[in-house]
Amino acid sequence: MSEKKQAFNPYLPSWEYIPDGEPYVFGDRVYVYGSHDFYNGHAFCLGDYVCYSAPVDDLGDWRYEGVIYERTQDPLNERNNMCLYAPDVTVGPDGRYYLYYVLDRVCVVSVAVCDEPAGKYEFYGYVHYEDGTKLGEREGDEPQFDPGVLTEGDVTYLYTGFCGRGDKSRHGSMCTVLDKDMLTIIKPPVFVAPGVEYADGTDFEGHAFFEAPSMRKVKDKYCFIYSSTLMHELCYAVSDKPDGGFKYGGCIVSNTDIGIDSYKASDRAVAYGGNNHGSIVRIKDDWYIFYHRQTNGTWFSRQGCAEKIKIEDGCKIAQVPMSSCGLNGGPLVTPGEYPAYIACNLFSPEMETYVDEKQPRIMQEGKDGDENPGYIFGLGDKATAGFKSFDCRGINTVVIKARGYINGWFEIRDKIDGPVLGKSERVDHSTVWEDYKIKVDLPDGIHDIYVTYVSGVGGNKAMVGAIALLSE
Protein backbone atom coordinates (compact mmCIF):
# COMPACT_ATOMS: atom_id res chain seq x y z
CA MET A 1 0.00 0.00 0.00
CA SER A 2 1.33 3.43 -0.94
CA GLU A 3 2.15 5.93 1.79
CA LYS A 4 -0.49 8.58 2.45
CA LYS A 5 0.11 12.02 1.04
CA GLN A 6 0.43 14.96 3.39
CA ALA A 7 -2.43 17.45 3.26
CA PHE A 8 -1.91 21.19 2.97
CA ASN A 9 -3.85 24.42 2.81
CA PRO A 10 -5.08 25.07 0.23
CA TYR A 11 -6.09 21.42 -0.03
CA LEU A 12 -6.55 21.45 -3.84
CA PRO A 13 -3.77 22.10 -6.39
CA SER A 14 -2.40 25.64 -6.13
CA TRP A 15 -3.70 26.48 -9.62
CA GLU A 16 -7.28 25.59 -8.68
CA TYR A 17 -9.74 28.19 -7.37
CA ILE A 18 -12.82 26.55 -5.82
CA PRO A 19 -14.29 28.77 -3.07
CA ASP A 20 -17.61 28.49 -1.16
CA GLY A 21 -16.88 24.87 -0.31
CA GLU A 22 -19.72 22.63 0.86
CA PRO A 23 -18.17 19.34 2.04
CA TYR A 24 -20.06 16.04 2.35
CA VAL A 25 -19.13 12.42 2.97
CA PHE A 26 -20.86 10.04 0.56
CA GLY A 27 -19.76 6.44 0.95
CA ASP A 28 -16.04 6.27 1.62
CA ARG A 29 -15.15 9.63 0.01
CA VAL A 30 -15.50 13.27 0.96
CA TYR A 31 -16.81 15.52 -1.85
CA VAL A 32 -16.50 19.28 -2.04
CA TYR A 33 -18.93 21.38 -4.05
CA GLY A 34 -18.28 25.05 -4.61
CA SER A 35 -18.35 27.87 -7.08
CA HIS A 36 -15.49 28.24 -9.54
CA ASP A 37 -13.25 31.31 -9.67
CA PHE A 38 -10.59 31.98 -12.29
CA TYR A 39 -7.01 33.03 -11.70
CA ASN A 40 -6.87 36.73 -12.63
CA GLY A 41 -10.66 36.66 -12.98
CA HIS A 42 -12.51 39.96 -13.27
CA ALA A 43 -15.54 38.80 -11.24
CA PHE A 44 -16.65 36.08 -8.85
CA CYS A 45 -17.60 32.57 -10.01
CA LEU A 46 -16.81 32.72 -13.73
CA GLY A 47 -16.45 28.98 -14.29
CA ASP A 48 -18.64 25.90 -14.56
CA TYR A 49 -19.18 23.79 -11.45
CA VAL A 50 -16.45 21.22 -10.92
CA CYS A 51 -16.07 18.70 -8.10
CA TYR A 52 -13.16 17.21 -6.17
CA SER A 53 -13.18 14.22 -3.83
CA ALA A 54 -10.79 12.39 -1.54
CA PRO A 55 -10.82 9.10 0.39
CA VAL A 56 -11.99 9.61 3.96
CA ASP A 57 -8.81 7.95 5.20
CA ASP A 58 -6.39 9.93 2.97
CA LEU A 59 -7.31 13.62 2.96
CA GLY A 60 -4.21 14.61 1.02
CA ASP A 61 -5.23 12.61 -2.06
CA TRP A 62 -7.76 14.81 -3.88
CA ARG A 63 -9.15 13.65 -7.21
CA TYR A 64 -10.55 15.94 -9.89
CA GLU A 65 -14.03 14.66 -10.78
CA GLY A 66 -14.43 17.03 -13.72
CA VAL A 67 -17.17 19.45 -14.72
CA ILE A 68 -20.44 18.39 -13.10
CA TYR A 69 -22.64 21.25 -14.37
CA GLU A 70 -22.15 23.89 -17.05
CA ARG A 71 -23.30 27.49 -16.87
CA THR A 72 -25.43 27.22 -19.98
CA GLN A 73 -27.45 24.24 -18.76
CA ASP A 74 -29.84 26.54 -16.94
CA PRO A 75 -32.54 27.72 -19.38
CA LEU A 76 -32.22 31.26 -18.00
CA ASN A 77 -28.56 31.37 -19.04
CA GLU A 78 -28.68 30.25 -22.67
CA ARG A 79 -26.74 33.41 -23.63
CA ASN A 80 -23.97 32.40 -21.17
CA ASN A 81 -23.90 35.89 -19.68
CA MET A 82 -24.53 34.95 -16.06
CA CYS A 83 -22.37 33.24 -13.43
CA LEU A 84 -23.09 30.23 -11.25
CA TYR A 85 -22.94 31.45 -7.67
CA ALA A 86 -22.27 29.26 -4.61
CA PRO A 87 -24.17 25.93 -4.72
CA ASP A 88 -25.13 23.24 -2.24
CA VAL A 89 -26.02 19.56 -2.63
CA THR A 90 -28.38 17.24 -0.77
CA VAL A 91 -29.58 13.67 -1.18
CA GLY A 92 -33.32 13.58 -1.85
CA PRO A 93 -35.85 11.01 -0.57
CA ASP A 94 -35.40 9.15 -3.85
CA GLY A 95 -31.65 8.72 -3.25
CA ARG A 96 -30.63 11.08 -6.04
CA TYR A 97 -28.30 14.06 -5.61
CA TYR A 98 -29.82 17.53 -5.96
CA LEU A 99 -27.72 20.62 -6.71
CA TYR A 100 -29.21 23.99 -5.66
CA TYR A 101 -27.83 27.28 -6.97
CA VAL A 102 -28.64 30.87 -7.96
CA LEU A 103 -27.44 32.65 -11.08
CA ASP A 104 -25.83 36.02 -10.48
CA ARG A 105 -28.54 38.31 -11.87
CA VAL A 106 -31.78 36.53 -11.00
CA CYS A 107 -33.57 36.11 -7.68
CA VAL A 108 -34.81 32.50 -8.03
CA VAL A 109 -33.36 29.15 -6.97
CA SER A 110 -32.46 26.63 -9.66
CA VAL A 111 -32.07 22.89 -9.14
CA ALA A 112 -30.14 20.21 -11.03
CA VAL A 113 -30.12 16.45 -10.34
CA CYS A 114 -27.79 13.47 -10.76
CA ASP A 115 -27.80 9.77 -9.85
CA GLU A 116 -24.32 9.96 -8.34
CA PRO A 117 -22.39 12.52 -6.26
CA ALA A 118 -20.04 13.75 -8.97
CA GLY A 119 -21.66 12.72 -12.23
CA LYS A 120 -23.17 14.92 -14.90
CA TYR A 121 -25.98 16.92 -13.31
CA GLU A 122 -28.98 17.82 -15.44
CA PHE A 123 -31.26 20.82 -15.02
CA TYR A 124 -34.34 19.84 -13.01
CA GLY A 125 -36.41 22.96 -12.34
CA TYR A 126 -36.96 26.01 -10.14
CA VAL A 127 -38.12 26.15 -6.53
CA HIS A 128 -41.76 27.30 -6.66
CA TYR A 129 -44.99 27.71 -4.77
CA GLU A 130 -47.88 25.31 -5.37
CA ASP A 131 -49.36 27.68 -7.97
CA GLY A 132 -46.11 27.57 -9.96
CA THR A 133 -44.81 31.02 -8.97
CA LYS A 134 -41.06 30.85 -8.48
CA LEU A 135 -39.67 31.54 -5.03
CA GLY A 136 -38.32 35.08 -5.18
CA GLU A 137 -40.93 36.31 -7.67
CA ARG A 138 -44.05 36.39 -5.48
CA GLU A 139 -44.97 39.81 -4.12
CA GLY A 140 -43.30 40.22 -0.75
CA ASP A 141 -40.57 37.66 -1.44
CA GLU A 142 -37.02 38.74 -0.79
CA PRO A 143 -34.40 37.91 -3.44
CA GLN A 144 -32.89 34.45 -3.18
CA PHE A 145 -29.11 33.98 -2.81
CA ASP A 146 -26.55 31.37 -1.71
CA PRO A 147 -28.85 28.37 -1.19
CA GLY A 148 -27.99 25.86 1.53
CA VAL A 149 -30.01 22.66 1.87
CA LEU A 150 -30.72 20.00 4.47
CA THR A 151 -32.98 17.00 3.78
CA GLU A 152 -34.69 15.06 6.57
CA GLY A 153 -37.09 12.32 5.59
CA ASP A 154 -39.44 13.59 2.88
CA VAL A 155 -38.80 17.32 3.39
CA THR A 156 -35.92 19.59 2.48
CA TYR A 157 -35.06 22.80 4.29
CA LEU A 158 -33.76 25.51 1.97
CA TYR A 159 -31.75 28.39 3.48
CA THR A 160 -31.12 31.53 1.45
CA GLY A 161 -30.39 35.23 1.76
CA PHE A 162 -28.04 38.19 1.40
CA CYS A 163 -28.11 41.25 3.67
CA GLY A 164 -25.89 44.22 2.90
CA ARG A 165 -25.40 47.14 5.24
CA GLY A 166 -27.82 49.99 4.59
CA ASP A 167 -30.45 47.84 2.82
CA LYS A 168 -33.50 47.59 5.06
CA SER A 169 -35.40 45.64 2.39
CA ARG A 170 -33.31 42.56 3.29
CA HIS A 171 -34.27 41.22 6.72
CA GLY A 172 -32.09 38.13 7.19
CA SER A 173 -31.53 34.54 6.23
CA MET A 174 -34.67 32.62 5.26
CA CYS A 175 -35.74 29.02 5.67
CA THR A 176 -38.21 27.57 3.15
CA VAL A 177 -39.54 24.00 3.44
CA LEU A 178 -39.82 21.90 0.26
CA ASP A 179 -41.84 18.80 -0.51
CA LYS A 180 -40.33 15.46 -1.52
CA ASP A 181 -40.23 16.54 -5.18
CA MET A 182 -37.41 18.91 -4.06
CA LEU A 183 -39.07 21.89 -5.80
CA THR A 184 -42.52 22.61 -4.37
CA ILE A 185 -42.83 24.85 -1.31
CA ILE A 186 -44.94 23.44 1.51
CA LYS A 187 -43.95 26.08 4.08
CA PRO A 188 -43.15 29.63 2.90
CA PRO A 189 -39.97 31.45 3.97
CA VAL A 190 -39.42 32.39 7.60
CA PHE A 191 -36.42 34.35 8.91
CA VAL A 192 -33.96 32.39 11.03
CA ALA A 193 -31.06 34.86 11.45
CA PRO A 194 -31.18 38.68 11.28
CA GLY A 195 -29.27 40.80 8.79
CA VAL A 196 -27.19 43.75 9.92
CA GLU A 197 -30.08 46.24 9.75
CA TYR A 198 -32.16 44.13 12.16
CA ALA A 199 -29.54 42.63 14.50
CA ASP A 200 -29.29 45.40 17.11
CA GLY A 201 -30.40 44.15 20.49
CA THR A 202 -30.15 40.49 19.46
CA ASP A 203 -27.39 38.03 20.26
CA PHE A 204 -26.31 38.34 16.58
CA GLU A 205 -25.34 42.01 17.04
CA GLY A 206 -21.81 42.59 15.71
CA HIS A 207 -21.94 39.30 13.79
CA ALA A 208 -25.18 39.65 11.84
CA PHE A 209 -26.03 37.42 8.89
CA PHE A 210 -24.49 38.60 5.61
CA GLU A 211 -24.52 35.62 3.22
CA ALA A 212 -23.46 31.97 2.78
CA PRO A 213 -26.09 30.08 4.84
CA SER A 214 -25.34 26.40 5.41
CA MET A 215 -26.98 23.88 7.73
CA ARG A 216 -25.58 20.78 9.41
CA LYS A 217 -27.12 18.54 12.06
CA VAL A 218 -24.81 17.74 14.96
CA LYS A 219 -26.35 15.03 17.14
CA ASP A 220 -29.73 16.54 18.11
CA LYS A 221 -28.78 20.16 17.35
CA TYR A 222 -29.10 22.17 14.15
CA CYS A 223 -25.95 24.16 13.43
CA PHE A 224 -26.43 27.12 11.08
CA ILE A 225 -23.14 28.28 9.52
CA TYR A 226 -22.98 31.66 7.77
CA SER A 227 -20.74 34.56 6.78
CA SER A 228 -21.22 37.56 9.04
CA THR A 229 -21.37 41.21 8.10
CA LEU A 230 -17.61 41.37 8.78
CA MET A 231 -17.27 39.06 5.74
CA HIS A 232 -13.97 37.45 6.74
CA GLU A 233 -15.49 35.19 9.40
CA LEU A 234 -17.69 32.12 9.33
CA CYS A 235 -20.02 32.14 12.32
CA TYR A 236 -22.56 29.69 13.65
CA ALA A 237 -25.88 29.63 15.49
CA VAL A 238 -27.62 26.71 17.17
CA SER A 239 -31.24 25.60 17.56
CA ASP A 240 -33.23 22.52 18.54
CA LYS A 241 -35.21 22.81 15.30
CA PRO A 242 -34.27 23.55 11.69
CA ASP A 243 -36.63 26.46 10.99
CA GLY A 244 -36.20 28.86 13.91
CA GLY A 245 -35.04 29.53 17.44
CA PHE A 246 -31.37 30.00 16.55
CA LYS A 247 -28.99 31.46 19.12
CA TYR A 248 -25.66 32.95 18.09
CA GLY A 249 -22.75 30.68 18.98
CA GLY A 250 -19.58 32.41 17.83
CA CYS A 251 -17.00 32.51 15.06
CA ILE A 252 -15.56 29.23 13.78
CA VAL A 253 -12.84 30.61 11.49
CA SER A 254 -11.71 33.94 10.05
CA ASN A 255 -9.56 34.17 6.94
CA THR A 256 -7.62 36.96 8.71
CA ASP A 257 -7.33 35.17 12.10
CA ILE A 258 -8.98 38.15 13.78
CA GLY A 259 -10.44 36.78 17.00
CA ILE A 260 -7.55 34.40 17.67
CA ASP A 261 -5.44 35.47 20.67
CA SER A 262 -3.31 32.36 21.22
CA TYR A 263 -0.25 33.68 19.36
CA LYS A 264 -1.04 37.37 18.82
CA ALA A 265 -3.48 40.10 19.84
CA SER A 266 -7.10 39.16 19.11
CA ASP A 267 -7.78 42.19 16.89
CA ARG A 268 -4.64 41.78 14.78
CA ALA A 269 -5.12 40.61 11.20
CA VAL A 270 -2.30 38.36 9.96
CA ALA A 271 -3.65 37.61 6.48
CA TYR A 272 -5.36 39.78 3.89
CA GLY A 273 -8.98 38.66 4.00
CA GLY A 274 -12.24 39.10 2.21
CA ASN A 275 -15.57 37.35 1.97
CA ASN A 276 -15.82 33.84 3.38
CA HIS A 277 -18.10 30.87 2.73
CA GLY A 278 -18.05 27.23 3.77
CA SER A 279 -19.39 24.67 6.20
CA ILE A 280 -18.55 21.87 8.61
CA VAL A 281 -18.37 18.13 8.02
CA ARG A 282 -17.60 15.03 10.04
CA ILE A 283 -14.97 12.83 8.39
CA LYS A 284 -14.62 9.54 10.28
CA ASP A 285 -14.25 10.64 13.92
CA ASP A 286 -13.20 14.27 13.34
CA TRP A 287 -14.99 17.48 12.44
CA TYR A 288 -13.59 20.08 10.01
CA ILE A 289 -14.51 23.56 8.86
CA PHE A 290 -14.06 24.27 5.13
CA TYR A 291 -13.59 27.94 4.15
CA HIS A 292 -11.69 29.98 1.58
CA ARG A 293 -8.89 32.53 1.30
CA GLN A 294 -8.15 35.33 -1.16
CA THR A 295 -5.14 35.23 -3.53
CA ASN A 296 -3.51 37.36 -6.22
CA GLY A 297 -4.37 40.63 -4.48
CA THR A 298 -7.99 40.33 -5.58
CA TRP A 299 -11.38 39.21 -4.24
CA PHE A 300 -11.97 37.11 -7.37
CA SER A 301 -9.37 34.29 -7.12
CA ARG A 302 -10.30 32.37 -3.98
CA GLN A 303 -8.96 29.00 -2.80
CA GLY A 304 -10.44 26.39 -0.49
CA CYS A 305 -8.87 25.66 2.91
CA ALA A 306 -9.92 23.50 5.86
CA GLU A 307 -9.16 23.16 9.57
CA LYS A 308 -9.93 20.55 12.21
CA ILE A 309 -12.38 21.77 14.85
CA LYS A 310 -13.77 20.46 18.12
CA ILE A 311 -17.50 20.40 18.79
CA GLU A 312 -18.40 20.26 22.47
CA ASP A 313 -21.74 19.26 23.97
CA GLY A 314 -24.57 21.56 22.91
CA CYS A 315 -22.79 22.20 19.60
CA LYS A 316 -20.25 24.63 21.03
CA ILE A 317 -17.39 25.37 18.64
CA ALA A 318 -14.29 27.39 19.52
CA GLN A 319 -12.67 29.53 16.82
CA VAL A 320 -9.75 27.74 15.19
CA PRO A 321 -6.63 29.47 13.78
CA MET A 322 -5.65 29.08 10.17
CA SER A 323 -2.87 26.62 9.43
CA SER A 324 -0.73 25.34 6.58
CA CYS A 325 -1.47 21.71 7.44
CA GLY A 326 -5.30 21.82 7.56
CA LEU A 327 -6.59 18.31 6.85
CA ASN A 328 -3.25 16.66 7.61
CA GLY A 329 -4.22 15.50 11.08
CA GLY A 330 -1.05 16.97 12.57
CA PRO A 331 2.03 19.08 11.80
CA LEU A 332 4.04 18.67 8.61
CA VAL A 333 7.06 16.40 8.73
CA THR A 334 10.66 17.51 8.51
CA PRO A 335 13.19 17.46 7.00
CA GLY A 336 11.56 18.52 3.75
CA GLU A 337 10.83 21.29 1.27
CA TYR A 338 7.40 22.91 1.04
CA PRO A 339 5.89 25.33 -1.48
CA ALA A 340 5.54 28.90 -0.25
CA TYR A 341 1.88 29.08 -1.27
CA ILE A 342 0.92 27.06 1.83
CA ALA A 343 1.71 30.12 3.99
CA CYS A 344 -1.33 30.69 6.21
CA ASN A 345 -0.15 34.10 7.42
CA LEU A 346 0.95 36.89 5.09
CA PHE A 347 1.20 40.43 6.42
CA SER A 348 3.09 43.72 6.32
CA PRO A 349 3.80 46.38 8.96
CA GLU A 350 1.10 48.55 7.37
CA MET A 351 -1.46 45.79 7.80
CA GLU A 352 -4.99 46.07 6.44
CA THR A 353 -7.83 43.63 6.98
CA TYR A 354 -9.11 43.34 3.42
CA VAL A 355 -7.23 42.30 0.33
CA ASP A 356 -6.03 44.61 -2.46
CA GLU A 357 -3.43 44.56 -5.22
CA LYS A 358 -0.78 46.57 -3.31
CA GLN A 359 -0.15 43.87 -0.72
CA PRO A 360 2.09 40.79 -0.77
CA ARG A 361 0.08 37.94 -2.21
CA ILE A 362 -0.07 34.35 -3.40
CA MET A 363 0.00 34.14 -7.20
CA GLN A 364 1.08 31.89 -10.06
CA GLU A 365 2.69 32.14 -13.46
CA GLY A 366 0.59 32.08 -16.62
CA LYS A 367 -3.17 32.15 -16.98
CA ASP A 368 -6.08 30.32 -15.42
CA GLY A 369 -5.82 26.60 -16.05
CA ASP A 370 -2.03 26.59 -16.36
CA GLU A 371 -0.78 24.00 -13.88
CA ASN A 372 1.98 26.17 -12.47
CA PRO A 373 2.67 26.11 -8.73
CA GLY A 374 1.84 29.17 -6.69
CA TYR A 375 4.36 31.37 -4.90
CA ILE A 376 4.53 34.51 -2.77
CA PHE A 377 4.92 37.77 -4.68
CA GLY A 378 5.68 41.27 -3.41
CA LEU A 379 7.22 40.57 -0.01
CA GLY A 380 8.32 44.09 0.86
CA ASP A 381 10.32 45.54 3.74
CA LYS A 382 9.52 43.72 7.01
CA ALA A 383 6.68 41.78 5.37
CA THR A 384 6.23 38.28 6.76
CA ALA A 385 4.97 34.89 5.60
CA GLY A 386 3.96 32.44 8.34
CA PHE A 387 3.71 28.64 8.12
CA LYS A 388 1.88 26.44 10.67
CA SER A 389 3.14 23.96 11.76
CA PHE A 390 6.18 21.67 11.48
CA ASP A 391 7.34 18.70 13.57
CA CYS A 392 11.01 19.58 13.94
CA ARG A 393 13.63 17.03 15.02
CA GLY A 394 17.26 17.98 14.61
CA ILE A 395 16.43 20.87 12.28
CA ASN A 396 19.22 23.44 12.12
CA THR A 397 18.86 24.95 8.64
CA VAL A 398 16.09 26.81 6.84
CA VAL A 399 16.43 27.33 3.09
CA ILE A 400 14.46 30.08 1.36
CA LYS A 401 13.99 29.77 -2.40
CA ALA A 402 13.68 33.34 -3.69
CA ARG A 403 14.06 35.57 -6.72
CA GLY A 404 13.46 39.17 -7.78
CA TYR A 405 15.18 42.51 -8.03
CA ILE A 406 16.04 42.42 -4.36
CA ASN A 407 18.76 43.68 -2.06
CA GLY A 408 18.07 42.67 1.52
CA TRP A 409 17.95 39.60 3.76
CA PHE A 410 15.59 37.05 5.29
CA GLU A 411 15.01 36.55 9.01
CA ILE A 412 13.55 33.41 10.62
CA ARG A 413 11.40 33.29 13.75
CA ASP A 414 9.25 30.60 15.32
CA LYS A 415 6.92 33.10 17.02
CA ILE A 416 5.18 35.95 15.29
CA ASP A 417 6.96 38.62 17.35
CA GLY A 418 9.70 36.40 18.72
CA PRO A 419 13.46 36.77 18.55
CA VAL A 420 15.31 36.20 15.30
CA LEU A 421 16.58 32.61 15.19
CA GLY A 422 18.63 33.05 12.05
CA LYS A 423 19.40 35.54 9.31
CA SER A 424 20.49 35.05 5.72
CA GLU A 425 23.39 36.72 4.05
CA ARG A 426 22.39 39.64 1.87
CA VAL A 427 20.42 38.42 -1.14
CA ASP A 428 20.94 39.98 -4.53
CA HIS A 429 19.08 40.54 -7.77
CA SER A 430 18.17 37.33 -9.55
CA THR A 431 15.64 36.47 -12.26
CA VAL A 432 15.79 32.76 -11.39
CA TRP A 433 14.97 30.91 -8.16
CA GLU A 434 18.00 30.70 -5.89
CA ASP A 435 18.45 29.08 -2.48
CA TYR A 436 19.48 31.05 0.59
CA LYS A 437 20.57 28.95 3.57
CA ILE A 438 19.99 30.17 7.09
CA LYS A 439 21.38 28.47 10.17
CA VAL A 440 18.83 28.43 12.99
CA ASP A 441 18.78 27.46 16.65
CA LEU A 442 15.57 25.43 16.75
CA PRO A 443 14.96 22.97 19.59
CA ASP A 444 13.11 19.74 18.90
CA GLY A 445 9.33 20.12 18.96
CA ILE A 446 6.38 21.55 17.06
CA HIS A 447 7.19 24.93 15.56
CA ASP A 448 5.61 27.59 13.41
CA ILE A 449 8.01 29.28 11.00
CA TYR A 450 7.86 32.99 10.13
CA VAL A 451 9.93 34.30 7.22
CA THR A 452 10.46 38.08 7.19
CA TYR A 453 12.10 39.92 4.33
CA VAL A 454 14.07 43.04 5.26
CA SER A 455 14.71 45.36 2.35
CA GLY A 456 18.19 46.77 2.58
CA VAL A 457 17.81 49.40 -0.14
CA GLY A 458 14.69 51.27 -1.21
CA GLY A 459 11.36 49.58 -1.79
CA ASN A 460 12.45 46.36 -3.47
CA LYS A 461 10.25 43.29 -2.98
CA ALA A 462 11.05 39.60 -2.91
CA MET A 463 9.31 36.56 -4.37
CA VAL A 464 9.44 33.34 -2.35
CA GLY A 465 8.84 29.99 -4.03
CA ALA A 466 9.58 27.46 -1.31
CA ILE A 467 10.81 26.91 2.24
CA ALA A 468 12.87 23.91 3.33
CA LEU A 469 13.64 22.75 6.88
CA LEU A 470 16.75 20.60 6.94
CA SER A 471 19.24 18.84 9.20
CA GLU A 472 22.76 19.70 8.03
Domain harbouring 464, CATH code: 2.60.120.260
Please check whether residue 457 is in contact with residue 441, taking contact to mean a CB–CB distance below 8 angstroms.
no
pLDDT digits 0-9 by tens, 89-143 = 999 999 999 999 999 999 999 999 999 999 999 999 999 999 999 999 999 999 9
1 pLDDT band, cuts 50/70/90, is very low
- Which residues span the domain enclosing 399? 332-470
277 and 369: one domain? Answer: no
Q: What is the pLDDT of residue 67?
A: 98
211 labelled catalytic? yes
pLDDT digits 0-9 by tens, 4-28 = 899 999 999 999 999 999 999 999 9
457 pLDDT band, cuts 50/70/90, is confident
Residue 2 confidence (pLDDT) above 60: no
- Total domain count, the chain: 2
Q: How much is the average pLDDT of 278-285?
A: 98
Q: What is the pLDDT of residue 32?
A: 98
139 labelled catalytic? no
253 and 106: one domain? Answer: yes
Of 20, 74, 141, 411, the active-site residue reads: 20
Residue 45 confidence (pLDDT) above 60: yes
Q: Strands (DSSP E) along 127-201, which ranges?
A: 148-152, 155-160, 172-178, 185-194
Residue 83 confidence (pLDDT) above 70: yes
Residue 155 lies in a domain: yes
Does the model's pTM come out above 0.95? yes
User: b/e string for 366-390 if b means 16 or more Cβ within 10 A?
Assistant: eebeeeeebbbbbbbbebbbbbbbb
pLDDT digits 0-9 by tens, 249-259 = 999 999 999 99
Of 74, 211, 233, 381, the active-site residue reads: 211
Q: Which helix (H) or strand (E) holds 69?
A: strand 63-69
Question: What is the rounded average pLDDT for all residues in the chain?
Answer: 97
Q: What is the CATH number of the domain that holds 317?
A: 2.115.10.20
Percent of the chain residues topping a pLDDT of 70: 100
85 and 229: one domain? Answer: yes
Residue 15 lies in a domain: no
346 pLDDT band, cuts 50/70/90, is very high
Q: What is the pLDDT of residue 456?
A: 78
227 and 246: one domain? Answer: yes
Q: What is the pLDDT of residue 428?
A: 85
Residue 298 lies in a domain: yes
CA distance 312 to 334: 32
Boundary residue ending a domain (297, 328, 359): 328
Q: What is the pLDDT of residue 4?
A: 85
Boundary residue ending a domain (328, 363, 385): 328
Q: How far apart are the first and last CA of the chain?
A: 31
